[in-house]
Amino acid sequence: MPEQLSLRFPLRREYSFASFEPGSSAEAVQQLSTLARAPGFVGLWLWGAGAVGKTHLLHATCQLHAGRVGYLPLTDLLEDTDPQGVLTSQEPLDLLALDDLDSWLDDLDRERALQGVYQAQVNHGGKLLVTSQQAPSAMRMQLPDLASRLRALSCYQVQPLGDVSKKRLLQDRAKERGLIVADNVLDFWLSRGDRNLSSLLDQLRLVCDVALRQQRRITVPLLKDVLQF
């Protein structure tokens, strides 16, 4: 079990590799799940639109990695009175995961703090994971040195799941709760509802709750009732 350092940002147990549907991001998932085996410093940058599973992957990797690990959501960290100070005082770890670079970069002081952390991880021979919504080449950075170092990390785009993968995931999640969602119901759902995975999973929770409470099967009429299609 990893020794997690920051209790302020605890790891979410439900975010595991087992519960992640890789879709077309299988290579990134494979790299992350075998990260601990690589010797010395290794850095990976995951990027992609919101709600495609980047945070899920960071949590899953941290939970699988041995040694001292740390997960820091940078957007949340910005609410701290001294965000740079928190980052600067971060001691080198076996694995450090920094979520959501978009909010952190393009600020000289914050970038300097990040550069220090990067260099400390390199010197320590630890692993570094970062995520962003924008592509690495599109991220604005004030420190060219930091930019070139970060862009030289292995970059993987986490793609949104296709409909086939989404259906499989929704069916699996429903099955975990003892419910079945037929293909035609899912076709109806995906052709009318929000196709953002995070929203779909929220909706599924809601639908499952109602189905269990009312002892009903998940059908198109139930979806219409619950989701107001």
Select the residue interacting with other proteins from 74, 147, 169, 223 (CB under 8 A). 147
Beta pairing, strands 154-157 & 95-99: unpaired
CB of 214 to other proteins, least distance (A): 26
- Residue 68 CB burial class (10 angstroms; 0-12, 13-18, ≥19): middle
Evaluated on CA atoms 181, 54, 133, 73, the torsion sign reads: positive
Select the residue interacting with other proteins from 4, 16, 92, 227 (CB under 8 A). 92
36 binds other proteins (CB under 8 A): no
119 binds other proteins (CB under 8 A): yes
# binding residues, other proteins (CB under 8 A) = 42
Select the residue interacting with other proteins from 194, 201, 219, 222 (CB under 8 A). 194
Task: Tell the residue number behind the tokens 């979410």, with chain if given.
Answer: 12
Select the residue interacting with other proteins from 82, 91, 176, 209 (CB under 8 A). 91
27 binds other proteins (CB under 8 A): yes
CB of 190 to other proteins, least distance (A): 8
Backbone phi and psi for residue 225, each to the nearest 5 degrees, phi listed first:
-65, -50
Closest among 127, 87, 124 to 103, alpha carbons compared: 87
Q: What share of the chain is helix, strand, coil (3-state, %, to 5)?
A: 50, 15, 35
106 binds other proteins (CB under 8 A): no
Q: Which of residues 207-226 bind other proteins (CB under 8 A)?
A: none
Select the residue interacting with other proteins from 30, 75, 184, 214 (CB under 8 A). 30
CB of 146 to other proteins, least distance (A): 9
Stretch that binds other proteins, among 65-73, 76-84, 119-127, 172-180 (CB under 8 A): 119-127
Stretch that binds other proteins, among 13-21, 73-81, 154-162, 202-210 (CB under 8 A): 154-162
149 binds other proteins (CB under 8 A): yes
- CA–CA distances in Å: residue 86 to residues 2, 33, 89, 103, 108: 21, 28, 5, 15, 16
Contact 65, 91 (CB under 8 A): no
Number of Cβ atoms within 10 Å of the Cβ of 115: 17
Give the span between the Cα atoms of 23 and 10, in whole angstroms.
27
* Binding stretches for other proteins (CB under 8 A): 26-27, 30-31, 47, 49, 51, 91-92, 112, 115-116, 119-120, 123, 134-138, 144-145, 147-149, 151-157, 160, 162, 190-197
